[in-house]
Amino acid sequence: MNILFLSTENPYPPDHGHYIRTYNVLKHVSRHHNVHFLGFIKSKEGFKNVEPIREMCKTADVFIMPDDVSRARLYLSLFLNLFSPLPYIAQKYYRKSMKLKVEEILRKNKIDVVHFDMLHMSRYQTLMSDVPTVLTEHNVESLRIHRLLKNSNSMVFKAFMYLQYFKLKNFEKRACARFDACAAVSDDDMRVLKSMCPGANLVVIPNGVDTDYFAPDDTHAIPDSLVWVGGMNNMYNREAVDFFLEEIFPLILGRIPDVKLTVVGKSPTRRLLHLADGNKNIEVAGYADDVRPYIRKAAVYVAPIKSGGGTKLKVLNALSMAKPVVTTSVGAEGIDVIDGEHLIIADDPIDFADRTVELLRNTQYAASLAEKGRRLMVEKYDWEIIGRKMNRLYEEVVALKSDIQTTRYRFQ
């Protein structure tokens, strides 16, 4: 098949967040189909990362959409969006250059299906006529904003985000109804989308993990060591680290004075750097091309995530490396895990601290969790399995569209 794949960004290198899913889906889908990739980059520097995508796809084109605009320009854009019925993300990613390229590819190629990777790109769906379309919802975007609102103390931020939430929920509802199929990444997300849009054709295609890359080895974990992996440029990660340092870590320190937390990820905040300065219990590693050595050396992986949606790839990676994990209900969403068997789920700060200390003290129990978590990743979440599910979805929507068009022709 010929597939047009629309993405918010070029997913290379696949080192964080939705880049990981987008890259791996592209890699597996392009083995079986001709893929025309379109996406955005943040600067001219991004052109150097397009070649790996071109090697996988039949064609790959990107357009510059600067991310580091001035604060004044950003505030102006947000202010002007107040007068639009569209949410900010829908306005931001609809560009004339992209629209013209989409129309060109549709005109010059017999496209069998168009893949929209994230809701942000869904406005381009209006350019399609009889071409089957698939939307991947990495998160239920309106749910993600709603969770962020509940955990915010800023009245100005809440006022703006409440408006965004209502616009986004309406936009998401209408968008899902237009697509031939919408792929959610978890059963929880699918239930939310089903309640918003009962008529939508919804399926679950979960996030995955490269179980060969994120594999355990014979590295011995350092006793009483914890690790967090996630860039501080992401507001949900900042919130998680602040939550851990303010409400959970002091409780662990009170019982294990020599415990050490290593924070891995780009753009560490000034507050985090200040806390770590001269503190033997906190190490800020910053960005790492390869996070595996940090995960392997840690006795326990912590993921105290309070907001966001979808499935947390960081949790899948840790489980795949046979690392005992303590996370929250939000952190475990979308993963077919059993609390106490594959990982530990704790939402209350005291409970989170108690369960973390338990794993640090009871290494036999920690090893049992790690083994079962690894087995689950291999059997159910390897990217090869996820890629096959996406290929089947493409085939099904093409067949469904063909049947509808044939029926329509018969009755004309």
Write out pLDDT tens, residues 295-341: 999 999 999 999 876 568 999 999 999 999 999 999 998 899 999 99
- DSSP label at residue 246: I
CATH superfamily placement of domain 2-208+383-410: Glycogen Phosphorylase B; (3.40.50.2000)
pLDDT at residue 407 in the model: 40
- DSSP label at residue 245: I
**Which ranges of the chain have pLDDT less than 50?**
406-412
pLDDT at residue 411 in the model: 30
Tell me yes or no: is domain 225-381 CATH 3.50.50.60.
Answer: no
Q: Which residue is listed with tokens 């704790």?
A: 346
**8 A C-beta contact, residue 101 and residue 147:** no
pLDDT at residue 68 in the model: 53
What residues contact 34, with CB distance under 8 A and at least 6 apart? Answer: 1, 2, 3, 57, 58
Reported as half-sphere exposure (CB side, CA atoms, 13 A), residue 78 has a value of 14
Two domains, one topology: 2-208+383-410 and 225-381: yes
pTM of the model: 0.86
pLDDT at residue 150 in the model: 74
Q: pLDDT by residue (tens digit) across 249-290?
A: 999 999 999 999 999 999 999 999 999 999 999 999 999 999
pLDDT at residue 76 in the model: 84
For the chain, which residues make up each domain, given as ranges? 2-208+383-410, 225-381
At 3 the three-state DSSP class reads: strand
pLDDT at residue 145 in the model: 85
